[in-house]
Structures are given as structure tokens and as C-alpha cells.
Amino acid sequence: MKASYDPKTDTLSFVLKEGAAVAESDEDNPGIILDYDEQGDLVSMEILDASRRVTDAKKMEFQVA
């Protein structure tokens, strides 16, 4: 899994399956884009206008439980 933040576009991106081809994208909620592969599995997600949607777009914690 890979996460990145682009301050120029204010976009927070999560790639769940690297190298997977995107077959379909949905924007069920404005500013939240979900990408799916041909099997319907979620492969990535983008959050537009991230600085107003998350606490701190430039800071991230990762935890394995």
C-alpha cells in the first residue's frame, strides 16, 4: 500500500494494489474518487481538497495491529 499527498493539487492518494489497471472510477461523494479493477476490487482512492477534509494532510501515522 502506498499513500502520498500532493500540496500543489491538495490531493491525498492511497494506492492499495500497485500496478493494478483501473477499470472504473466512482465519485459517490463529491471529492472522494474510488478506483476499481475489472473484478470490482478497490485499487486506489483519491481525496480532493484534502487540507479541508483531513486533520493534517501532511502528517500520517501507520499502525499494524
Q: What is the mean pLDDT of residues 31-36?
A: 97
Is residue 61 assigned to a domain?
Answer: no
pLDDT digits (tens, 9 = 90+) for 11-31: 999 999 999 999 999 998 999
User: Percent of the chain beyond pLDDT 70?
Assistant: 100
Q: Which domain holds residue 31?
A: 2-53
Reported as a pLDDT band with limits 50, 70 and 90, residue 54 is confident
Give the predicted TM-score (pTM) of the model: 0.84
Return the pLDDT at 61: 83
Is residue 43 assigned to a domain?
Answer: yes
Is residue 44 assigned to a domain?
Answer: yes
Rounded Cα–Cα distance for residues 24 and 9 (Å) = 22
Rounded Cα–Cα distance for residues 26 and 8 (Å) = 23
Rounded Cα–Cα distance for residues 3 and 60 (Å) = 9
Return the pLDDT at 38: 96
Where do the DSSP E strands lie in 1-65?
A: 2-6, 11-15, 24-29, 32-36, 42-47
